[in-house]
Amino acid sequence: MDVPWSYSGDNGPEHWHTLCDWYAQGAEFPYQSPIALVHDETEEPIDQDLAFHYKRERFTEKEFKNTIHFVPYNKESYVTFKGINYYLTDIHFHMPSEHIIDDEQQELEFHLVHMNDDGENLVVGVLFKLTDKLNWICNQQDDSIWDFENHTQWFDPSMFLPERTHHFHYVGSLTTPPTKGPINWFVFDWIGEMSRRFILEFREEVLENNNRPLQDRKDRPIYFY
């Protein structure tokens, strides 16, 4: 059941858990996201690092909850973590960024959402600054095709990944209802650049805030790769 929610007012983030039992159950997970990430408060990784297996594929563009989602037609791109494949199911963005690194919030955060065969999620977060200097995105490949009129795009999702691979890893939740967990989060500490024009091609109103407030870190470990 799709229960209406938003980022402000009576159905905003502080009220999500009251809107229905499904949302309430998700909010019971004790380690919620997003959180503030600090380099000096991280631990040495204990698990094998994340491996990316992305390829150019077709995406359809959908609008939902004040953001744009790129949904792949096929499960061609995936990541591997601890020997398990997690397939890319969705790419969307939040403005401003939901995660904050060393007390700095960025203008934009992309989430690349993955799921394994058991229905477990893994999310990769990449933060960006908006700029008027670029045509699109700093890492875009030449063979990308953006058909805004027909809401169909062809691109390699690795265009959203940084050139430098250092990242934080922690266990958290989804940042939208039902905010369920556990979710394996990987957030890069590299800050990319993206054109304002690229964002405006999708929907001018998307520049409204759609970020969940920071959640309590509690005692959970944060690893840095």
* pLDDT single digits (tens) 137-174: 555 555 555 555 556 788 899 989 987 789 999 999 99
Which CATH code is given to the segment(s) 31-224?
Answer: 3.10.200.10
* pLDDT single digits (tens) 99-124: 999 999 999 999 999 999 999 999 99
- Give 1's pLDDT tier (boundaries 50, 70, 90): low
Give pTM, 2 decimals: 0.91
DSSP string, 139-199: T--TT-EEETTTTEEEE-GGGGS-SS--EEEEEE--SSTT--S-EEEEEEEEEEEEEHHHH
* pLDDT single digits (tens) 6-59: 999 999 999 999 999 999 999 999 999 999 999 999 999 987 889 999 999 999
Reply yes or no on whether the pLDDT at 74 is more than 70: yes
Q: What is the pLDDT of residue 165?
A: 81
Cβ contact 155:137 at 8 Å? no
Q: What is the pLDDT of residue 140?
A: 52
